[in-house]
Structure 1
Amino acid sequence: MLKTEKKIQVVENGGVTAPKGYKAAGVPAGIKNGKKEKKDVAVLVSEVPAAAAGVYTTNAVQAAPLLVTKASLEKTGLLQAVVVNSGNANACTGEQGIKDAEEMQELTAKVFQIDKELVGVASTGVIGVLLPMDRISEGIAEASRKVSGDGGVDFARAIMTTDLVKKEVAVQVEIEGKVVTIGGAGKGSGMIHPNMATMLGFITTDAAIEQAALQAALRQITNRTFNRITVDGDTSTNDMVLVLANGQAGNDTLNPGHEEWPLFVEALEYVALHLAKAIARDGEGATRLIVAEVCGARSEEDAEKVAKTIVGSSLVKTAVFGADANWGRLMMAVGRSGAEVDPNRVDIWIGSIQVAANGMGMEYDEAEATLELQKDPVVFKVNLNVGHADATAYGCDLTYEYVKINGSYRT
């Protein structure tokens, strides 16, 4: 069943196995505590080697699987499989952590009979704890036996940590008369404030694409999607987004010179934005998504600074949780964003209610503004009135539950 949205069609219940030539699985291995209470080992495999691109956390502390994956991808520009575990980040684990990540590569390569350099590795969970490689090994073996074209949903579930819901999406576009599909799955709920990539994201497509063009497109799209969300202001050690393109759709190889390249990039951005917003909405303890729409900026960079500062402000986030129409917190965020602003020109809306004009408060119905703050999503609109650029960022409210979850994360 497809739902038409312009030239992009959304595939209902689609994920990483929606494109041609991909299989996946997710199984319980007891990674965190030895108890097989949830799926925590996932594998994704393409029938053929795929052109691949990746973006990674800018945190100076980078987890072993990220380093191993980055090195392999830089060497080959290709991936054919990805192995992921949740419950343990394999970060700050020294030389043993690197050896364990490489062993995950080797184990996955062996079961699928491919070169280990074609295997991407990702981990998410508690930092500073060595992987239980006996459980990892058993999990990879079991997952490899269960891969199927319907396994995308189990893959999406197995990569979750404190996530409350799985995050996946797929779309289709027609290129050269051929149907091209793009699918994705992501995870993320806490330690979310990306600055290059975010949490874990995996995107697959059956399009044929030049690797360099795919890498450039991913970087551009990441800056407009994953890099415009925040939950708690913390950038993870394990943030990574990978895109695989296996060419099974049969189209001529895509690059920026191709007539339908813009359509493909638009579809790829649709998938990335869907995953990014789902991650922001599922922030730990969150009850509502926050959307900050900023216009009238001197540059897109300035608009982005303001939008991200608004959704990242603890005071704004707590005001949303309490449905307190305290527009002064929005003005504060505008002023400290680092963007070029004239405080005497700023207009602010809470939902459909304008609460400030020319930097000063207006008369408005407090009850109506409170109702706007009880909606999901909560939308803030800010017009800086100093230019013509705009940007949108996404976040969530800050609740008592966030403290509870993170006060007992290891237990």
Structure 2
Amino acid sequence: MAFAAAPALADTTVEFWHSFSGASGEALDQIIEKFEAANQDIDIQAEHIGNYNDIVAKLQAAIPAGQAPDAVIMEVTRYGLFAERGVLIDLTPYLDADPLKDDLFDYAREVGVYKGKNYIIPFNNSTPVLYFNKAILERAGYTEEPSLKTFDDILEVSKTVTEKLGSEGIYGIAAPGQFARWGLVMSNDSDLIDSVSGEILIDAPNTVEAYEWMSSLVHEQKVASPDGVTEESNGRDAFYAGKAAILMNSTGDYGSTKSAVGDDLEVRPMPCNKVCRVPIGGAGIGILSSAEKEVQDAAYKFISFAASPESNALWFAATGYMPINKKTTEQPVAAEALETQPGIRVAIDQLPFAKGRPRPPVVTWMRSTEYPTWQAMALGQRDVSEALAEFAERTRQEEMRLN
């Protein structure tokens, strides 16, 4: 068969590290197969490394050892570290010569720019959304859908579910993961780092207030399980298993969430507590400067193919990640997904108030350090104001060191 023969005939091999498994991994495999069928001189050797944190850690170890890949998925707030160090090439010359540039949504084009240059081309972009299990809410006594627009709304519903169904091991809400936490801070009219000025806002009053509310869900109100704090995937898995009524998570997990929860799944926008604002997440593909020029050319050819309307429509329909190409929704598979999977549209509807996040090198450090800080607050081990004040000061010191 042609697919089987293509790798053997390939003149150029591109080693590509990525973070996708399950339904997302299967969709990526389809895109790669289609690309290789159309470009039999190129072999894309895709390797699943783990999550975004795993990719950063392995890349940092692989570069000095001379074992880095040729292309890599880079999360939209973490690639600045590698761009700053010359690890990633500037893709601007490629993109300027590619008709694709006119087809990308403005938000999709913007997330790949650092200091005026394109270092990643978007592949999977997302916003957090609010998922809930309508069967659980009905069992808790809700005959009509309750409001889930503010922190108070969400807490009230979470308390009701926990009071009514807690004896069965069902919690009202899963402890919010890092992407959702960033979204909840934005919803409270703040940020962690200002994306324009670079000001550290970790200890700003509205940031502190948002973390106090998030932490209270676990150690004070006890409507979220501490298991989802120490291991964030536990909260998601509890929602999948019908053990939590509400989950705030990436739209990119729509496919796996729908598979787990089925027709009981409902998708709504993130809360607008003080303002309506959500972060743009996900990742794009970058090319490493250590790759040979012909490999870089082949890697970009694949990147452009992956961002085409046909590939992006396949990806969007299978995963729920937002369209990055203006022509994606014209494709039959995307149009069918919008018609048959109404929840998949929520992230698109949030785009008018979606906001890009900062991407300087300090963000990579800040995000990894946020995890233990969050755990200490959510588990009631540290006062929120004190913990965030210390975290903010350490972030400012790290920023000075990196600069």
TM-score interval for Structure 1 and Structure 2 normalised by the shorter chain = under 0.3
More strand by share: 1
Task: Give the TM-score, by structure 1 length.
Answer: 0.26
Bigger relative CO (Cα 8 Å, ≥ 6 apart): 2
More helix by share: 2
Task: Give the TM-score, by structure 2 length.
Answer: 0.26
